[in-house]
Amino acid sequence: MAAEALVIPFLSLPLFRDLKAKQLGEIARSAERIIYHPGDVIVAEDQHSDAAILIVSGPCARQTKSGDATTEELLPEGSLIAELAMLVELVHPATIVAKGQVKGLRLSREKMQELMQSDVDLASHFSSHILKRLHAMAQDLLTVDSLLLNSAELATSGEQLTLEKPVRAHAAL
């Protein structure tokens, strides 16, 4: 697969969308092309990671355990698994398994750090996106805190709490 064709999957992801063509090309060229077969574990729960994986094609599922039960959620093509692992150390919160042949791009932290060291604008771009997400998560936590406080106050008064505004849910960073 030509590097130019590898850029296309990145364009649908907000983290990469505003990058210059040259930057996307460098990221695509530095990515390791990888193929998983049915049943292969793409990432394992509670394991450390040094790379993000972009699912280019093929079916995979996130498996989560609750007690003795395991649930599966299919992930769409174009999903970026362990997004922050390409930037910082990360422990996987769930297991991702290939359900068929899966083609992916592995974005190692080592390669991304090399790219960011040679392109300060790229490092600034990623830093800005992460900061925005942290601010949004902090706002959500403040909203939840306020709801819990109001709920406790209402519980003592006998009234019921109703939500007027939904709380955004953020994927694990």
Give the residues of the chain that fall short of pLDDT 70: 1-3, 154-155, 157-173
Query: What is the amino acid identity at position 80?
Result: L
| Strands of the sheet with 32-36, listed across from one edge | 32-36, 102-108, 51-57, 80-81
Task: State the pLDDT at residue 171.
Answer: 47
pLDDT score recorded for residue 160:
58
Note the pLDDT of residue 122.
Answer: 95
Q: Check residue 1 and give its pLDDT.
A: 52
CATH architecture of 3-119: Sandwich (2.60)
pLDDT of residue 41: 97
Look at residue 172 in the predicted model and tell me its pLDDT.
43
Give dist(CA 9, CA 77) in Å, integer: 9
So where are the chain's domains? 3-119
Q: Please report the pLDDT score of residue 165 as a whole number.
A: 53
Whole-number pLDDT of residue 137: 85
